Amino acid sequence: MRRLVVCFSLLVLISLLVACGQGDNKSAKWDQIQEKGVIVAGTSGTLIGASTYDKDDNLTGYDVEIMKEIADRLGLKVKFEIMGIDGMLPAIQSGRIDVAVNDIEVTDSRKEQFAFSEPYKYSYSTMVVRKEDNSGIESLEDLEGKRAGGGATTIFSQIAEHFGAEVVTYGNAPNEAYLRDVHNGNTDVIVNDYYLSKFGVAGFPEFDIHLHPDLKFHPTEQAVVMDLEAETLQQKINETLAKMREDGTLTELATEFYQEDASKKPEGEIAEIEGLDL
């Protein structure tokens, strides 16, 4: 009988220790950030509208300014680590950065490995093509056999590959490199976010490129990305974003950087893509 009591007591103790450990994990990242007084955010600095450098070489953009505002309202400083999009999620896993803000799309597969804030941007995908003939693309199926410029691990590259395109990958290259290649025929198309594509094209009027006039597909949501167990940090960021949405800060920033309110879902019909495992 005594042995049974001892075993039961040990099971209770182990359960309590596990529960306490799980609670510590949920708040560990937030406690660490608070202790330092600094939140480290990964971003590229190469996305016009989202994360870029102004004429005075200051890092800015919709995502960057949102992260600055979140940090300020949480009583923190923010330190930006500049890196390519392909390295951001691994950098969260390794602990090099606390969060990533770079127009990163929320997907089911990513949610299995990372925690996301509530969305701060809603958008959809489109294509940058040559003006003269839309690069021979009038439907998504016409991507087959085309050369699509993009990052190796982006959703946009997955879409291009899904329809048979060959993806030409870049490092942390500026928008100009991608767009120039479509202009000069090194690639045929860039599948990307509507807002980012719009501003990329507008930034280089000398290139013979434009947004595809007919294709709108794959509605998206973008959010702050963090470690899967960082539940307290996620809660703090969500509470801050809710206040920013309520007081109009998100709308103000979106309108400043995109000339449209990207903090709200776009209107109109946007085609869903079947068969993508995102």
pLDDT tens for the chain, 278 residues: list them: 444 444 444 444 444 444 444 446 889 999 999 999 999 999 999 998 999 999 999 999 999 999 999 999 999 999 999 999 889 999 999 999 999 999 999 999 999 999 999 999 999 999 999 999 999 999 999 999 999 998 877 889 999 999 999 999 987 788 899 999 999 999 999 999 999 899 889 999 999 999 999 999 999 999 999 999 999 999 999 999 999 999 999 999 999 999 999 999 998 899 999 887 77
The pLDDT value recorded for residue 132 is 95
Calpha distance 99→149 (Å, rounded):
26
| Pairing of β 147-150 and β 166-169 | parallel
What are the C-alpha distances in Å from 19 to residues 5, 7, 12, 89, 234? 21, 18, 11, 28, 19
Closest residue by Cα to residue 177 from 150, 205, 212, 143: 150
Calpha distance 267→2 (Å, rounded):
69
The pLDDT value recorded for residue 68 is 98
Residue whose pair of structure tokens reads 């767009």 in the numeric block: 179
The pLDDT value recorded for residue 19 is 44
Per the CB < 8 A criterion, the answer to whether 172 and 43 are in contact is: no
Environment class of residue 127 by beta-carbon count within 10 Å: exposed (0-12), middle (13-18) or buried (19+)? buried
H helices within 118-258, ranges in order?
155-162, 175-184, 194-202, 231-246, 249-258
Residues contacting 171, CB < 8 A, separation 6+: 84
| Pairing of β 121-130 and β 190-193 | antiparallel
Task: Let me know if the fold of 11-120+223-258 is the same as that of 122-219.
Answer: yes
Calpha distance 30→233 (Å, rounded):
5
Calpha distance 277→94 (Å, rounded):
25
The structure tokens listed for 91 are 């950098």
Enumerate the domain spans of the chain.
11-120+223-258, 122-219
Per the CB < 8 A criterion, the answer to whether 150 and 83 are in contact is: no
Provide the sign of the torsion angle of the four alpha carbons 62, 65, 69, 71, taken in this order: positive
Per the CB < 8 A criterion, the answer to whether 106 and 223 are in contact is: yes
Calpha distance 111→273 (Å, rounded):
19
Q: Does domain 11-120+223-258 have CATH number 1.20.120.450?
A: no
Task: Provide the 8-state DSSP code for 267.
Answer: P
Calpha distance 24→229 (Å, rounded):
10
122-219: CATH architecture: 3-Layer(aba) Sandwich (3.40)
